[in-house]
Structure 1
Amino acid sequence: MAEILKARDISANEMSVVLHRRAELRLRRALAHLVSNRRELFETYQSFHNRTATATLHRRPRLLSFAEMEPGEMVFVGCYNAVFRGARPYAEIGADPNIQELHRDFGMDLWWDDENETHPWFDLQPLPDLADLAGRLRIETPAGRTYMRLADRLDAEVIAIERVSQYAPPFPGWRSLCLTSSDVRFLPGDWAARLREWRGVYLIVDESDGERYVGCAYGAENILGRWQQHCASEVGVTVELARRDTSDFRFSILERVSPDMPPEDVIALEHTWMARLHTRQFGLNT
């Protein structure tokens, strides 16, 4: 990492680094989605910090931001100038629509007890430095629990510089598509739009034991809508899937069909896949 900063004439001893790794599971899984599709929520999320991190930002307001995408790996979000805006009352922070959405939809903890107390707040303004590496630069997650670091003391090995952004990767095509439940919940906008257009037959594999379920999708939301139904709660929506944890589900498309194929024809095609994969006798179809 030090070599990259040096090559761009960026003084590491003037920069701070934030390493976003949330304890809240839902928020940790959603970070890539927030960076790609809800940047205003992500900027709100990284606008306030604990006392130690706040002191670091006061000394070094130029900030390199990373978010953990996979265990042990972080991807560069961007470079910012952290402008201190003073201390906001907790009551005001809690009433912020972005804070409310982060808490309600993504599980961000609201840690304060006294709404009359205040907390330092920063306005993180994007800078052009290293903008071409946003979403492409992958580093090893540094050891230790401290999430705010000094750039000149950052011990982080560069894993790769990808050709395309990992926050908005190109759609792989339906034959190669294989998504976790977390992926389905936080799809890039263009991926969701394609799945919304497509009818077809799909496969769910429960990775905890390899059991399989064949389903079909048609209607207004097509495959997107059906997969989102499967992921809407902690357990599945059918008799057999309701006994299982949706976080272990992996989704793929067995066959894509015409968007105007009649529902009865899609259902008939689904039954042929059940027969070929034996998911009634040895799987999760009933």
Structure 2
Amino acid sequence: MLTFNQLLRAGSLDPANVRLVRHKPSRHKHRAIFDAAMRSDGAFREYQEMQGSTQVVSQFRAAKHLAGFVVDPTTKQTVFMGVWDLLGERPPTVDPFGTPLRPGTVAFETRSRSEFDRYRGRLVIGWGDGERAWVQRADLQDKPIIELRKHYEDPAFPGFMVFQHALDQVETVPVSWAEVLRNARGVYLLVHRERGDQYVGSAYGEGGFLGRWVSYADGHGGNVAMRELGAPAEAYDVAVLEVVGSDATVEDVFKREALWKTKLGTRVKGLNRN
């Protein structure tokens, strides 16, 4: 099996001088940071350069190079994004993705090593156990290369009957998925992941399913029973029950929604009040 340290040595880098940095951003920023890394956007470089943990700062200071990875928000795989030389330190600036800087934040100066760019988004490693240790010494953690793609592409949309997603992460779906969900209307189901409470709703306006689901960012989207429950959006999963045709009227969608409420009994034991 090929390993990441073999790739580093092929690029004339000593793994002892390299720190592996695995980014798994917060849910609301995950897709933006992943996409910026894939585009080699300077915002990702700045994001990686600013560190507020004393342990991470010490790791960076002891290294000569950083090998950056980002967890794919869809597949959860650890995807390679490049190698950077550490050149020094500079005063911290504003985080490009809006994360408040911690006291004592240190900003590092880095420069990308272009010889590794052809592997960006294509090389996937197995990080193994200890995900909380997101900065590791390469020489002590020789990661297996589990995939080298011909090119990166979003995974195919799984289909409406298979699709299920955390409600608070619907804006992080791949661009191709978002396009499908914006252009489809119909009936959907919200399920409280721990309690099992269900809510049947319908999407019939501009933005389709995705436009409607985004409105639940506050945890209720105007629904009385969900507001009373007081759970955040992250407590729910969302799935599609039925997609209606382009010729369906709003009244048609409401009728299908009512039918699903009856079938699932969400007016009797659930979060539907009408």
TM-score, scaled relative to structure 2? 0.78
- The 3 A distance-change label for structure 1 pair 163 and 3 is closer
- The answer for unaligned runs of 5 or more in structure 2 is none
Q: Which residue of 2 aligns with 1:24?
A: none
What SS is found at the alignment partner of 1:271?
helix
- The 3 A distance-change label for structure 1 pair 194 and 76 is same
The total of aligned residue pairs comes to 258
Task: Write the mapping of 1:1-286 to structure 2, written as runs, cut at 5 A.
Answer: 3-6=3-6, 9-10=10-11, 11=13, 12-21=15-24, 27-30=25-28, 32-39=30-37, 40=41, 41-49=43-51, 50-57=56-63, 60-61=64-65, 63-68=66-71, 75-82=78-85, 84=87, 86-88=89-91, 90=92, 93-94=93-94, 99=95, 102-103=97-98, 108-112=99-103, 119-125=106-112, 127-129=114-116, 131-132=118-119, 134=121, 137-143=124-130, 147-154=134-141, 156=143, 160-161=146-147, 168-230=154-216, 232-242=217-227, 243=229, 244-286=231-273
Contact 2:168 2:233 in 1 (8 A): no
What SS is found at the alignment partner of 1:79?
strand
- The 3 A distance-change label for structure 1 pair 183 and 146 is closer
Following the alignment from structure 2 to structure 1, what is the Cα–Cα distance between the partners of residues 196 and 148?
A: 32
Following the alignment from structure 1 to structure 2, what is the Cα–Cα distance between the partners of residues 34 and 126?
A: 23
Amino acid at match of 2:44: F
Following the alignment from structure 2 to structure 1, what is the Cα–Cα distance between the partners of residues 159 and 123?
A: 21
- The 3 A distance-change label for structure 1 pair 250 and 128 is farther
Amino acid at match of 1:216: S
Contact 2:2 2:144 in 1 (8 A): no
Q: Deviations over 1:134-156 (max 9, x none)?
A: 36524235538654332111265
Following the alignment from structure 1 to structure 2, what is the Cα–Cα distance between the partners of residues 246 and 86?
A: 39
Following the alignment from structure 2 to structure 1, what is the Cα–Cα distance between the partners of residues 4 and 266?
A: 51
Contact 2:184 2:208 in 1 (8 A): yes
Flag as ranges the 4+ runs of structure 1 deviating above 6 A: 162-167
Following the alignment from structure 2 to structure 1, what is the Cα–Cα distance between the partners of residues 17 and 172?
A: 35
Amino acid at match of 1:129: F
Contact 1:17 1:151 in 2 (8 A): yes
Following the alignment from structure 1 to structure 2, what is the Cα–Cα distance between the partners of residues 66 and 141?
A: 14
Q: Percent of aligned positions with the same letter in both sequences?
A: 24
Structural RMSD (CA)? 3.3
Q: Deviations over 1:85-121 (max 9, x none)?
A: 7513x4xx13xxxx2x522xxxx232138xxxx8433
- The answer for unaligned runs of 5 or more in structure 1 is 22-26
TM-score, scaled relative to structure 1? 0.75
Following the alignment from structure 2 to structure 1, what is the Cα–Cα distance between the partners of residues 122 and 196?
A: 32
- The 3 A distance-change label for structure 1 pair 259 and 136 is farther
Following the alignment from structure 1 to structure 2, what is the Cα–Cα distance between the partners of residues 282 and 42?
A: 46
Following the alignment from structure 2 to structure 1, what is the Cα–Cα distance between the partners of residues 80 and 20?
A: 11
What SS is found at the alignment partner of 1:240?
helix
Amino acid at match of 2:32: L
